[in-house]
Amino acid sequence: MKTIVTGSYAESSRILADMFECVMRTVEEPLLGLSTGSTPLGMYQCLTEDYSRGLIDFSHVHTINLDEYVGLPRSHSQSFGYYMDKHLFSKVNLLPENTLLIDGVGEPEAQCRRYNEFLSQSPMDILVLGIGNNGHIGFNEPDDAFCASTHVVELADDTICANARFFERIEDVPRHAITMGMAGITQAREVVLIATGMAKAKAIGALLADDKIDPRLPCSILKVCQNATILIDKDLADYIQ
Ligand code: PGA
């Protein structure tokens, strides 16, 4: 696992987009692993701008998203499907049949099975991760053990509080989600975790502090990955030291 400290969030987003674009240019039918939340927005902006300038093409690209709230249909403004439509899918020439998402209102076990079968055949070429204030990746919350496969998870109180900003009332935040597990995440050929903001300092500080892998700090599993990068900006790095 390597760490890159950049000058700013904008620079982190640019570097991340360049890493994705490199995969898109060099792999015949790339599978991109995508995440949501506020942190990857800068990367999606770079990708959509580069697409409008004719620099990249998505017609041969496949995508898979990490997670989704249970109970939210794609038409709900806070579902991750809606987020993807808004920030990427509607702006580039990705074929709808090449985008794999969890259906928040589908039967959960069937959704997990579909994801696990897909991932066992097709590891991702590159995966972007954000990180929760509590160190979660996807919706793999701190727990006594890691969960390997795609599964239904009860969201941690920390996560519900952090995500309440996107909903009218905290009671509206779904209590459950479906998330890709650690097998899918760690099998990606390249994993990039991007973090910005002081709220992430505790988790990133703990991640970089030692060589331990601890299910109470889910992001620590990235230490087993062949090719994982932690992308943080100077403000966050200064705060950790
Ligand atoms: P954020 O969420 O990018 O909105 O901070 C990250 C996450 O919870 O994984």
| Catalytic status, residue 62 | no
Task: Give the angle 215-146-233 at the CA atoms, nearest 5°.
Answer: 55
Which residue lies with its CA nearest to atom 8 of ligand 1?
132
pLDDT of the residue at 200 = 98
Q: Does 238 have pLDDT greater than 90?
A: yes
Substitution site in 39, 41, 192 for ligand 1 pocket (most atoms within 8 Å of beta carbon): 39
CA distance 117 to 114: 5
Segment 226-236, tens digit of pLDDT: 899 999 999 99
Segment 176-213, tens digit of pLDDT: 999 999 999 999 999 999 999 999 999 999 999 999 99
**Average of pLDDT values for 83-98?**
98
CA distance 150 to 183: 9
Which ligand 1 atom minimizes the distance to the CA of 197?
5
Using the 8-state DSSP alphabet, how is residue 99 labeled?
E
Question: How many angstroms does the Cα of residue 132 sit away from the middle of ligand 1?
Answer: 5
| Catalytic status, residue 141 | yes
Annotated catalytic residue within 141, 151, 163, 190? 141
Tell me the average pLDDT of the chain.
97
pLDDT of the residue at 241 = 76
Task: Look up residue 76 and give its amino acid.
Answer: H
Please answer whether residues 151 and 82 qualify as being in contact, where contact means their C-beta atoms are separated by less than 8 angstroms: no
pLDDT of the residue at 22 = 98
pLDDT of the residue at 102 = 98
Question: How many angstroms does the Cα of residue 98 sit away from the middle of ligand 1?
Answer: 25
Segment 134-157, tens digit of pLDDT: 999 999 999 999 999 999 999 999
Question: How many angstroms does the Cα of residue 56 sit away from the middle of ligand 1?
Answer: 26
Which residue lies with its CA nearest to atom 2 of ligand 1?
37
Question: How many angstroms does the Cα of residue 163 sit away from the middle of ligand 1?
Answer: 8
CA distance 167 to 174: 10
The model's confidence at residue 106, banded by pLDDT at 50, 70 and 90, is very high
pLDDT of the residue at 182 = 98
Q: In the chain, what percentage of residues exceed pLDDT 70? A: 100
Substitution site in 80, 131, 153, 157 for ligand 1 pocket (most atoms within 8 Å of beta carbon): 131
Question: How many angstroms does the Cα of residue 159 sit away from the middle of ligand 1?
Answer: 9
Identify any residues that bridge with 4 across adjacent strands, giving them in sequence order: 231
Strand, helix or coil at 151?
strand
pLDDT of the residue at 116 = 97
Token readout for 143 is: 């727990």
| Catalytic status, residue 97 | no
| Catalytic status, residue 176 | no
Token readout for 205 is: 């500080």
Q: Does 105 have pLDDT greater than 90?
A: yes
Annotated catalytic residue within 67, 103, 125, 233? 67
Going from the C-alpha of 176 to that of each of 87, 141, 239, the distances in angstroms are 24, 11, 32
| Residues in the ligand 1 pocket, defined by CB under 6 Å | 37-39, 130-132
pTM equals 0.97
